[in-house]
Amino acid sequence: MGLIVQKFGGTSVANRDRIFNVARIVADTRNAGNDVVVVVSAQGDTTDDLIAKAAEITHDPSKREMDMLLATGEQISVSLLAMALDSVGVPAISLTGWQAGFQTDRTYTNARIKRIDSERIESELARNRVVVVAGFQGLNRMEDITTLGRGGSDTSAVAIAAALHADRCQIYTDVEGVYTADPRYIKKARKLPEITFDEMLELATLGAQVLNNRSVELAKKYGVELEVLSSLNPMPGTIVKEVTSEMEGMLIKGVAKDTNVAVISIMEVPDVPGMSFKVFGALARKKINVDIILQSTGRGDNKDLIFTVPKNDAEIAVAVLKENQVRFGGGEIYVDKDVAKVSVVGAGMQSHSGVASRMFEALYENNINIRMISTSEIKISVIIKLDEADRAMAAIHDEFIQ
Ligand code: ASP
Ligand code: MG
């Protein structure tokens, strides 16, 4: 007996049969004596299709109008699911994000939730209804519709669970949980029984696609324990929480690949104070995210600056650098998009040495050259050639996960 938030992603509600499958899961949860709030995404590829429709009209749509458009996807799925629940005898009501009380900041297409006025949800629950809430959307102070960025329904679910102090927040998806690597590429990937918020956050940020990283951030902040599980294959999933039991003593929880990376090199930047500030300041003003930074030791009066940016920002980054080049000098600017970032993540590496050398040895044995390295307390990332990324993932996975 308790209050359970269940989130279903686009594949889980893609068609009639899937919607009734979800209705059954919700009905079972309710029949077990729980109050249930359901959060759903748009069906299947609806959001992509809507984006494509906008592109047929203009290449530069206003972000406000994009949100008006994209929010319709979730409205379709909440109403259909509420109808399905009703038809299997479960009293239900659908609510848009604004009816559910989602207040956001004003950043169209990538808004942040500021708070949830949950009275409406609570009063519907008190009337014994299952409440089906449209994920991914809210309202800003101007009473305009906003959306929370791609994959934002996870964040909606976590935010409701936090606001209502739910007993559990279940994220139902099309995979059976969080894996040590993407099982589509790594056949030996294993499902993890548990993972910490920090590990999950690193994996989500490094390219694992199972949870949206902002939802994990929010879950950590409010201590909302998550369960990631499959809507199609009923079995225990993965629990995401603050501290895991580490019974299995897994040093490494996951290996991830990110191909949205490009390496930019600026040669012969003067070796004097302020140059890095000028280079990265120019990029920051264009909101370009710089990840790994390498600086060569000075040769004579010069040094080289080498860093990574998202591949889809590489062209703008180079243009910005060329525009600002008078301010920091420097010679040739090169960009290499033929790269990938492969990372290992595990809280265990905080207390065990040798993880990096084992990773590098696995790459060496496979004759894979490392271009750049970066580390944090619980992750090690390397930049390598794009066409070697899958081989690198397999080798590293074999090394750490049996
Ligand atoms: N429908 C939105 C998207 O595809 C939100 C979500 O699925 O979480 O990004
Ligand atoms: Mg979606």
Q: For 272-307, how does the pLDDT look when each residue is reduced to its tens digit (9 = 90+)? A: 999 999 999 999 999 899 999 999 887 788 999 999
**Mean pLDDT score, 38-49:** 98
Q: Which of 11, 13, 40, 41 has the most ligand 1 atoms within 8 A of CB, as the residue to mutate? A: 41
**Mean pLDDT score, 138-166:** 97
Q: Which residue, 342, 401, 350, 354, is CA-closest to 376?
A: 350
Q: How confident is the model at residue 60 (pLDDT cuts 50, 70, 90)?
A: very high
Phi, psi at 61, each rounded to 5°: -70, 150
How many angstroms is it from 9 CA to the middle of ligand 2? Answer: 6
Considering the chain, what percentage of its residues have pLDDT values greater than 90?
88
**Contact predicate 95/50, CB 8 Å:** no
Q: Answer yes or no: is pLDDT of 207 > 80.
A: no
Q: Answer yes or no: is pLDDT of 246 > 90.
A: no
Q: Which residue, 188, 191, 235, is CA-closest to 210?
A: 191
What are the tokens at 300?
């004579």
Per 3-state DSSP, what percentage of the chain is helix, strand, and coil (rounded to 5)? 40, 25, 35
Pocket of ligand 1 contains residue 138 by CB under 6 Å: no
**To 5 degrees, how large is the angle CA 221–CA 223–CA 229?**
110
**Mean pLDDT score, 328-345:** 94
**Mean pLDDT score, 351-364:** 94
How many angstroms is it from 281 CA to the middle of ligand 1? Answer: 32
Pocket of ligand 1 contains residue 97 by CB under 6 Å: no
> CB burial class (10 A; 0-12, 13-18, 19+) of residue 56?
exposed
In sequence order, the 6+-apart residues with CB closer than 8 A to the CB of 333 are 264, 265, 266, 267, 318, 321, 322, 325
Pocket of ligand 1 contains residue 330 by CB under 6 Å: no
Pocket of ligand 1 contains residue 177 by CB under 6 Å: no
What are the tokens at 324?
């600002």
Measure Cα distances from 374 to 244, 267, 269, 359, 383 in Å: 25, 21, 22, 13, 9
Pocket of ligand 1 contains residue 44 by CB under 6 Å: no
**Contact predicate 203/192, CB 8 Å:** no
Q: Is 24 in a helix, a strand, or coil?
A: helix
**Contact predicate 158/240, CB 8 Å:** no
Question: Would you state the pLDDT for residue 402?
Answer: 77
Q: Answer yes or no: is pLDDT of 210 > 90.
A: no
**Mean pLDDT score, 185-209:** 89
Question: Would you state the pLDDT for residue 374?
Answer: 94
Q: Answer yes or no: is pLDDT of 76 > 80.
A: yes
Q: Answer yes or no: is pLDDT of 247 > 70.
A: no
What are the tokens at 56?
């047929």
The minimum-distance atom of ligand 1 relative to the CA of 153 is: 8
The minimum-distance atom of ligand 1 relative to the CA of 152 is: 8
Question: Would you state the pLDDT for residue 330?
Answer: 85
Q: What rounded mean pLDDT belongs to the chain?
A: 95
Question: Would you state the pLDDT for residue 226?
Answer: 97
Question: Would you state the pLDDT for residue 248?
Answer: 58
Q: How confident is the model at residue 21 (pLDDT cuts 50, 70, 90)?
A: very high
Q: How confident is the model at residue 152 (pLDDT cuts 50, 70, 90)?
A: very high
- What is the per-residue burial (b if ≥16 Cβ within 10 Å, else e) of 162-182? bbbebebbbbbbbbbbbbbbb
Phi, psi at 211, each rounded to 5°: -130, 145
Q: Answer yes or no: is pLDDT of 250 > 70.
A: yes
The H-or-E segment that residue 102 falls in is strand 102-104
Q: Answer yes or no: is pLDDT of 249 > 80.
A: no
Q: Which residue, 335, 343, 305, is CA-closest to 318?
A: 335
Q: How confident is the model at residue 205 (pLDDT cuts 50, 70, 90)?
A: confident
Q: Answer yes or no: is pLDDT of 59 > 90.
A: yes
Determine which residue's CA is closest to atom 5 belonging to ligand 1.
151
Measure Cα distances from 151 to 6, 7, 44, 154, 174 in Å: 15, 12, 12, 6, 14
Give me the count of residues in the chain: 402
**Mean pLDDT score, 26-49:** 98
More confident residue, 334 or 247: 334
Residue 65 CA to residue 58 CA, distance in Å, equals 11
Residue whose pair of structure tokens reads 């696995």 in the numeric block: 362
**Mean pLDDT score, 130-158:** 97
